[in-house]
Amino acid sequence: MDTEIKIISRRRKKYVRSTNRDINIVHRNPNPESHPFEQAREYKRALNSVKMDRIFAKPFLTAMTGHIDGIYCLERHPKYLSRVVSASADGEIRVWDLMRRKTVANVQAHNQFIRGITISKPNGNFFFSCSDDQTIKQWRFSDLRSNVNSEYQKKKKPVSTFISEETLRGIDHHWSRHTFVTSGDTVQVWDHKRSKPFQKLTFGTTETSSAIKFSPVQKNVFATAGSDRSVGLYDLKISTPIRKVILKNQTNAISWNPMEAFNFTVANEDQNCYTFDMRRLDRALCIHNGHLNAVMDVDYSPTGREFVTASYDHTIRIFNIRSISSRDVYHTRRMKRVFVAKYSGDSKFIISASDDMNIRLWKSEASKPLLPVDRKEKNAIKYRESLKKRYGYLPEIRRISKHRHLPRVLYFMKQQKKKSLQARARKYRNMKMNNPSSVKQTKMRKRFIVKQLK
């Protein structure tokens, strides 16, 4: 009787890696009939990934103390990721090291409220501060950090002092020239080596400009926010104003997108942020809502894909540039009204300052690990992110990913705001139904704009 013997044989090169750095060889049959439960398994993995993100979401890192009054100005260094400069209402300026989480230098710069602070962009060796005492002071980082025992170091005198004839409300430095601008009754253009402004720009009205910001791409263009609820654009190259738009509420802060040269976002008193294209100011590109009180500050990530906002409602929110609602909301029990929020230079962290005299450090992605991960963990994270993106439209996954716990006061404020918006929409529908001629049809992106001037 003949016996048939079958031998299983395989070549070692087909399933064994030659080195530890080679890609793992995975044998998989792509035929969908061989995997009838593939979609169900992936959905379950996506659901678990979303739940894990909420479980491990711990964005708050630390709170740094030292100021004895509310902090209203904050600026990050253009070169050093860990260096931040802050100014408080009592006239004190502090230089912080985020890695050591402590103050490395401090100086009593002014005797009155400090309204603005900016760092020289070409080299980052100096920073400027402006105050209600109508002075601008130039400081050198090395002078404040030096330990040389001399009278100059003990007194910590500024490098230069510029005296303005007008009240100053904001300051910003040019991105490539030794020039800075200040906002007040007029927009003044200053040079490092001149004691007086060599240019004064205005639209011909008597408004007071509060916020001012240079564009990082179109470096001669800057935007201002006025007390007459206006947002104006200026060009230093031609030394004239470009155009101006008047909104229904006042703007508190302006931030330019570093990757899209013509776009900027404003933080408004009506609890919303508006993204504009400077070439067309008659409508907004996007309306970002979610805050429950006035938005005090806005700052773009260096990637240009997200921005962070600080609000009077004791929270900071992170928005995608194309999204109406916020991606995440950060708050703590002890944090009060937040006046400033900035991204770090590597976009991994967020620095916020509030009037409770604390500077807080947050992760930009709440559930992302800070410690280095190995290659397998990186691949697993990418796989989970792709699953969340693929199944993110499903109700259960969408509900878990968007849900955020709010304090009791903010929760009831949110419900009250929702009822108010519903009542306003119901009134509009009734007016349109009963008397259509009395209702003016206006698009949502144009309703908050009063007029545009050129």
Indicate if the alpha-carbon torsion angle 416, 417, 422, 424 is positive or negative. Answer: positive
DSSP codes joined into one string, 263-307: EEEEEETTS-EEEEETTB-SS-SEEE---SS-EEEEEE-TTSSEE
- For residue 148, name the pLDDT band (cuts at 50, 70, 90): very low
Asked if 274 and 287 count as a contact pair (C-beta separation under 8 A), the reply is yes
pLDDT tens, position by position, 166-225: 889 999 999 999 999 999 888 999 999 898 999 898 876 667 888 999 999 999 999 999
Contacts of 180 (CB under 8 A, 6+ apart): 118, 120, 128, 171, 172, 173, 174, 189, 190, 192
d(CA 268, CA 191): 31
pLDDT over 70, % of the chain: 96
pLDDT tens, position by position, 380-406: 999 999 999 999 999 999 999 999 999
Whether 157 shows a pLDDT value over 90: the answer reads: no
Q: CB neighbours (10 Å) of residue 39? A: 12
**Bridge partners of residue 360, in order along the sequence:** 63, 352
Closest CA to 224 of 239, 236, 237, 234: 234
- Global pTM? 0.88
Contacts of 127 (CB under 8 A, 6+ apart): 75, 85, 117, 118, 119, 120, 138, 139, 141
What average pLDDT does the structure give for the chain?
A: 90
User: Distance of CA 396 to CAs 142, 268, 329, 420, Å?
Assistant: 55, 34, 20, 28
Tokens of 241: 């104003």
